A and B are shown apart, each in its own frame.
Chain A
Amino acid sequence: MRRYLIAALTLMLLMLIPSVAAEDRALELIRKMDYIMRGVESSFGTFTMTIEKQRWKKPRLIKMKSWDKRETEKEPAKSFILIAEPVSEAGKAFLKIGNEMWSYFPDVNAITKIPPSMMFQDWMGSDFTNDDLVRESSVINDYTHRITGTHKEAGQLIDVIELIPKPEAPVTWGKVIAEVRDSDGMPVRQEYFNDKGEKVRTMSFLDIRQMGGKIIPTKWIMKPEGKPGDQTMFVIDSIEFNVKINPKIFSMAHLRQGGM
């Protein structure tokens, strides 16, 4: 009798191994993806955001510069976005320190702190929210990861990873599904679902090439679900990584300088 019990237990333990291994592989891929997207000390880039809405006659182009500094042990993550074009938006600036965000409007010389209630409103009328820019959550630490399948796209093997937020995590999504390249963790697509399991939006990563010394997707397209014809596209025009950024850039004073 005892022998059978031991055999059964061993069998069950053996069965666990593949699922643990699967989780490990998922985590490994997510780490790779995170490194590609965020794994630098700092960056400075210029971007063009193109917003299309079905009811508009033509797309709206917004050009901006952005400074980013990753969090260190002593300081939280910081970033600064300055809008350069079009003329009606030029000079608007956004400062993010940790999970707090401020905006500046040159017309009225006013710095406004974005309150938590406004975090889920569109940023600059795009399909990204203020929260997306602030994004204090970590795709590695705040979710559990599980590979749910694979498929081939354009001759490449793609892993489909299901990310479920952990209970204490500062995440409002019910679920995120990330599709990454099996070979290097390059993100292909991310789908965001709400608490009810309904898909809310899809982000696609395109134009993978070398820029600033890294191979990254240079075109990101966010499409909200249920609104055909609406999308927001970010294109990286130029980017430098691990540059030294003057800390004064991440200050209120810099916000006011607007179009300098």
Chain B
Amino acid sequence: MLLKLAWRNIWRNTRRTILTIAGVAFGLGICIYSRALGVGFHNQMIRDAIHVFAGHIQVNALHWHGNWTMEYLMDNPDAVFNAIKDDPRIIGAAPRATVPGLISRKLIKAATGQESMNDDESGEENTSTALITGVDPEAEKKITSLPTKMRKGRYISADDPMGVAIGADLAKTLGVDIGDRVLLWTQNYYESLEAKYFFVRGIYKSGSFDLDTFYVFVPLQTVQQFLQLDRMVTTVTIVLKDSEYLDPVTNSIKGNLDPKVYEVLKWTDFKPEIWQYVVFDDIGGYMFLGILMIVVVFGILNTQLMAVFERTREFGAMLALGTRPSRVALLVFIECAMMTAVGVVFGNLLGLLAAYINSRAPIDLSRDAAAYEVFGIDPRLYAAVLPFPFVICTCLIFSIALVMSLWPAFRAARYKPVDALRHV
């Protein structure tokens, strides 16, 4: 009975109620859409980072990560391959040998086709820091998408031992193009300086700052030979079929490898900048959400408080007739709840509509792409249509609204019938 009464009471002032419900609906809609967009954006960033090059899981010798020196090489990558054999959750794994070094341009004079005796004193010698990475081209093609991002030339291959692939930004810094000769400097296994000439076979553009500016990809065997590494590598990178397998697979690998020798890291450990950005962005998003919701809820509160004041005589009459104050409070409370509920339903619909449209058609920020590309973020934003944003926003707004509506409820209940009846 109370429900029927509450419902009828709401619609006594149609315009006001509609406005309040609309307020809730739009507020909720925006909240939901913004979260959906945020989730979509983050998922994309993560997917890009992981699938282009970083991988979900990385196994390296204990202490290598963070040090990157010859002291901590992995003697036996086979042990890692055995540990993950036949795991259906894994797409594949690739061995890599990454060493810090220098790359410089060493052009061959075109006219004579032979190197100048003074080529180390020739004018244009551009040098850059480099992360020289020996990779198995076939394994990389199976698990990462970088080999498909060649802008010029082609990816490296095992039967071209002196060919390297570099990022577009590095190529620009050095002033090199396909076929040009470069000199790679680094330390070998014995920590003695080694240098060797290579030829640029391919130039890629990944969108990731690090990859495009510092990485130099070389066939793994060449690196192992030139640095006297034998079969040693620095990491084995693993890509999963789905990121939900991250924790279970990591734990399973840890169980199969000696923790005194190997270190198994999740992408959140070895690419913390992405994870940190996501968390940071989420916090910002939730703060915005919180503020928005409070504004919306004040809308409901305002409506209901006004209603309570307007109906003072009515409440006075009810109380005088014997309605228990608690029932009066409950009535007001239910009125609030109903308005919120209707608003929530429409809010969810609005949010769903917006998220759906955005999941098909991206927001294109390409004109301002420069800032995004530094972080390797694709400037086209998609929203994710996932239950999470809906559920959390709805629950939030409901709880805030219901808590806030206790105030007018109590006000109504505390009227003294005698004074209330005589209220102007």
Contact = CB atoms under 8 A, between A and B. Distances in A.
A110 B115 contact: no
B286 to A, nearest CB: 46
A122 B191 contact: yes
Contacts of B195: 105, 107-108, 110
A99 interface: no
Interface string B367-398: 00000000000000000000000000000000
Contact of B115 (A88, A109, A111, A122): A109
Contact of A124 (B106, B115, B192): B192
Nearest to A60: B190
A122 to B, nearest CB: 6
B183 interface: yes
Contact of A105 (B115, B187, B193): B193
A111 B119 CA distance: 10
Interface residues of A, number: 16
B245 interface: no
Nearest to A108: B195
B244 interface: no
Interface in B80-137: 106, 115, 119-120
Contacts of A112: 120
B197 A125 contact: no
Interface string B316-344: 00000000000000000000000000000
B187 to A, nearest CB: 8
A43 interface: no
Q: On chain B, which size bracket covers the interface?
A: 10 to 19
Contacts of A109: 115, 119-120
Contact of B183 (A60, A88, A110): A110
A51 interface: yes
B302 interface: no
A249 B106 CA distance: 28
Contacts of A103: 193
Interface in A21-70: 51, 55, 60
B120 A111 contact: yes
Contacts of A100: none
Interface string A77-99: 00000000000110000000000
Contacts of A111: 120
Nearest to B73: A55
Interface string B166-195: 000000000000000001000110111111
A206 to B, nearest CB: 24
A125 B120 contact: no
A64 to B, nearest CB: 13
A106 to B, nearest CB: 10
Most buried by A among B192, B194, B228: B192
A125 B192 contact: yes
27 contacts: A51-B190, A55-B71, A60-B190, A88-B228, A89-B192, A103-B193, A105-B193, A105-B194, A105-B195, A107-B194, A107-B195, A107-B196, A108-B106, A108-B183, A108-B196, A108-B197, A109-B115, A109-B119, A109-B120, A110-B120, A110-B183, A112-B120, A122-B191, A124-B190, A124-B192, A125-B187, A125-B192
Counting from the closest, the 7 A-B pairs by CB-CB distance are A125-B191, A125-B192, A125-B190, A108-B195, A124-B192, A110-B120, A105-B195
Given A110-B183, A110-B195, 5 more contacts: A89-B192, A107-B194, A107-B195, A122-B192, A124-B190
Interface of A: 51, 55, 60, 88-89, 103, 105, 107-112, 122, 124-125
